[in-house]
Amino acid sequence: MKSANWPGPDRNVAVKTLQSVADEPLDLVAVYGATAFDLFHVSDELSASYDDRASLVERISDLAAETRQDFVRHGLFAGLRPTHDRVEYKSGTLDGRKLLQVYCGGRGMLLLVDTDEPEEPLVRAVMGLLSV
């Protein structure tokens, strides 16, 4: 999936950077912009938990759209500075894993990680990758 929102972080650099700060292996790294998303990394375990790749892509696409809308709504109603000057994130759970949703500079990144994974190092790494 080639994103319509590039230039953005390099796939290999992004995955290596995030793996270097994570305590546990990453299950998912997906980058999205205003109109498209790109799967940078999907673990074998996560892939196996879906019937096929199309089901996984559909789920991640829906998540990216929901996340994008949440952050846009938040920005519209919170009276915050322009998006490129801030990083926003929230965490939740998905399929028994921690879901980190990070939004910075008009782009976002979805990460699925172990539930005990510390958030701050990953958010800082994502901020550096997305603000390029």
In a domain? residue 46 = yes
**Bridge partner list, 37:** 32
**Residue 110 structure tokens:** 């979805």
Give yes or no for residue 69 having a pLDDT over 80.
no
In a domain? residue 111 = yes
- pLDDT band (50, 70, 90) for residue 19: very high
- Per the structure, how many domains does the chain have? 1
User: Comparing 130 with 41, which gets the higher pLDDT?
Assistant: 41
pLDDT at 6: 55
DSSP for 5-70, please give it: T-S---HHHHHHHHHHH-SS--SEEEEE-SS-EEEEEE-HHHHHTSSSHHHHHHHHHHHHHHHHHH
* Domain with 21 in it: 11-130
| Mean pLDDT on 22-50 | 89
In a domain? residue 63 = yes
Predicted model pTM:
0.80
Lowest mean pLDDT among 38-42, 73-77, 92-96: 73-77
The rounded mean pLDDT for the chain is 81
CATH number of 97's domain: 3.30.450
In a domain? residue 3 = no
Q: Say which amino acid occupies 91.
A: S
Tens of pLDDT along 80-128? 444 444 567 889 898 899 999 888 767 788 999 999 999 999 999 999 9
Distance CA 125, CA 1 (A): 23
